[in-house]
């Protein structure tokens, strides 16, 4: 309830600022009328038009203000946290915050959506209760302003737009090509702008933040929340927790302990810190079929990042620093009417063991399909790797059609 009141107070304050701007416009034109510089008919028309178009005019003068959802995720349900106080600081001063309730989903994906927030996020001030550790944490950090101004004005492709020429850019800078962004999305969503700010809460105050662009996720940073030790603040937060959940702190912890055991409270962030380690890795997908044409590869990484790699980048593999891949989902053809999608699931420990033999060197992760597209093998630096699962399916219908598809 406290958080809802605070947010509505901020929204009301923002609305009042808007009303004040409208009053300024009205006063200016009344002044011109009194000076005989404008007639009443025209002033009525201008005031009405100005009030209605004020938000649009401000957007035309400046970059379009980002609109984004906020997610609060955790690695597993046993690591649930509950925000008590939350402020997302924005460059424009617009009010923004976390969703009401507790964390959910999986690492970097809460599986839930909340009301869109407005503005360019440049920092956070969050207090949350760790249900399984029975402690309160406080996270107050600033994000790099210039970087956030740039990244919130990017859009990333998830599919080829129709009738494009030349090489597809890896992303669009909306500050320069917003009209192009609208054009390529005219007949279907092929490109996503910044639409999610995602928080991941791990044990012992570890917090990771990602920027989301549809299915594309880019890590913003790893942060450390501080343990709240002030008894006066703890009492305040306990009262807020009861108001929000209708359960006492002791009862919440008792429920969590009964379901997941006391050992959960001893968990460390080591695993999720390890997931963030990056290696210089080249991804190669090949086939014994001479008609093989690869079009896209959706890569999910253990550190929570994800990307869609399209032509020409997917067929001109170059090594780049990245976390260990968790999944591949790629689309290919071998002939007209022979279109397939393939999923591969990796084991972090298996890949990590080999990569750590040469942690600073360049590595090649290769998927090799057989000639009939019914089976595949995976190799890391030439060494066979057993996957956690792999599936090859034929595509149905005409949904997966690319510029270089068989005609």
| Tens-digit pLDDT profile for residues 186-230 | 888 999 999 999 999 999 999 999 999 999 999 999 999 999 999
Starting at the earlier edge strand, list the strands of the sheet with 121-130.
Answer: 81-90, 121-130, 135-142, 226-227
Starting at the earlier edge strand, list the strands of the sheet with 191-193.
Answer: 171-173, 154-157, 191-193
Placement of tokens 């507790």 in the chain: 102
- Tell me 66's DSSP state: P
Q: Confirm if 384 and 345 have CB atoms less than 8 A apart.
A: no
Fold of domain 277-394: Immunoglobulin-like (2.60.40)
Rounded CA gap, 219 and 306, in Å? 9
Other beta carbons less than 10 A from residue 396's beta carbon: 8
**Backbone angles phi and psi of 9, in degrees to 5:** -65, -40
Name the nearest CA neighbour of 85 among 21, 4, 147: 4
Q: Is 190 helix (H, G, I), strand (E, B) or coil?
A: coil
Rounded CA gap, 304 and 266, in Å? 23
Reported pTM: 0.84
What is the pLDDT, as a whole number, of residue 195? 97
Q: Is 288 helix (H, G, I), strand (E, B) or coil?
A: coil
What is the pLDDT, as a whole number, of residue 328? 98
- What's the pLDDT tens digit per position in 309-320? 999 999 998 999
pLDDT band at 164 (very low <50, low <70, confident <90, very high): confident
Using the predicted structure, report yes or no on whether residue 39 has a pLDDT greater than 80.
no
Q: How far is CA 108 from CA 111, 186, 193, 205, 322, in A?
A: 9, 29, 18, 16, 16
What is the helix (H) or strand (E) element at residue 234, kind and residue range? helix 231-245
Sign of the Cα torsion 118, 123, 129, 130 reads positive
Q: Which of 41-55, 134-148, 206-220, 260-274 has the lowest mean pLDDT?
A: 41-55
Residues of the chain with pLDDT > 70: what percent?
A: 85
Rounded CA gap, 182 and 200, in Å? 31
């Amino acid at each position: 309830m406290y958080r809802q009141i605070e947010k509505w107070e901020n929204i009301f304050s923002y609305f009042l600022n808007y009303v004040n701007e409208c009053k300024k416009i009205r006063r200016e034109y009344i002044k011109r009328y009194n000076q005989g510089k404008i007639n009443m008919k025209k002033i009525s028309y201008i005031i009405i038009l100005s009030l209605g178009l004020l938000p649009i005019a401000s957007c035309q003068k400046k970059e379009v203000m980002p609109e984004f959802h906020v997610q609060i995720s955790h690695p597993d349900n046993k690591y649930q946290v509950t925000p008590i106080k939350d402020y997302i600081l924005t460059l424009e001063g617009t009010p923004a915050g976390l969703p009401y309730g507790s964390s959910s989903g999986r690492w970097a994906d809460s599986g839930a959506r909340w009301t869109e927030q407005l503005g360019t996020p440049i920092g956070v001030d969050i207090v949350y209760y760790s249900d399984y550790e029975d402690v309160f944490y406080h996270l107050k950090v600033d994000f790099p302003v210039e970087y956030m101004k740039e990244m919130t004005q990017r859009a990333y492709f998830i599919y080829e737009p129709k009738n494009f020429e030349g090489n597809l850019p890896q992303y669009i800078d909306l500050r320069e090509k917003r009209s192009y962004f609208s054009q390529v999305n005219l007949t279907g969503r092929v490109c996503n702008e910044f639409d999610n700010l995602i928080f991941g809460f791990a044990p012992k105050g570890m917090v990771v933040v990602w920027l989301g662009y549809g299915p594309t996720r880019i890590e913003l940073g790893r942060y450390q929340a501080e343990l709240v030790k002030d008894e006066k603040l703890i009492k305040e937060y306990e009262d807020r927790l009861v108001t929000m959940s209708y359960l006492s702190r002791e009862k919440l912890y008792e429920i969590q302990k009964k379901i997941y055991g006391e050992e959960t409270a001893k968990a460390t962030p080591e695993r999720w810190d390890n997931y963030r380690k990056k290696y210089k890795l080249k991804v190669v997908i090949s086939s014994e079929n001479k008609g093989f044409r690869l079009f896209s590869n959706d890569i999910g990484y253990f550190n929570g990042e994800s990307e869609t790699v399209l032509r020409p980048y997917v067929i001109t593999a170059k090594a780049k620093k990245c976390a260990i891949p968790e999944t591949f989902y790629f689309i290919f053809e071998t002939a007209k009417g022979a279109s397939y999608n393939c999923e591969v699931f990796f084991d972090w420990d298996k890949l990590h063991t080999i990569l750590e033999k040469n942690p600073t060197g360049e590595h090649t992760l290769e998927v090799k399909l057989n000639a009939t597209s019914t089976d595949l093998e995976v190799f890391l630096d030439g060494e066979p790797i057993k996957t956690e699962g792999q599936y090859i399916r034929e595509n149905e219908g005409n949904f997966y059609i690319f510029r270089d598809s068989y005609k």
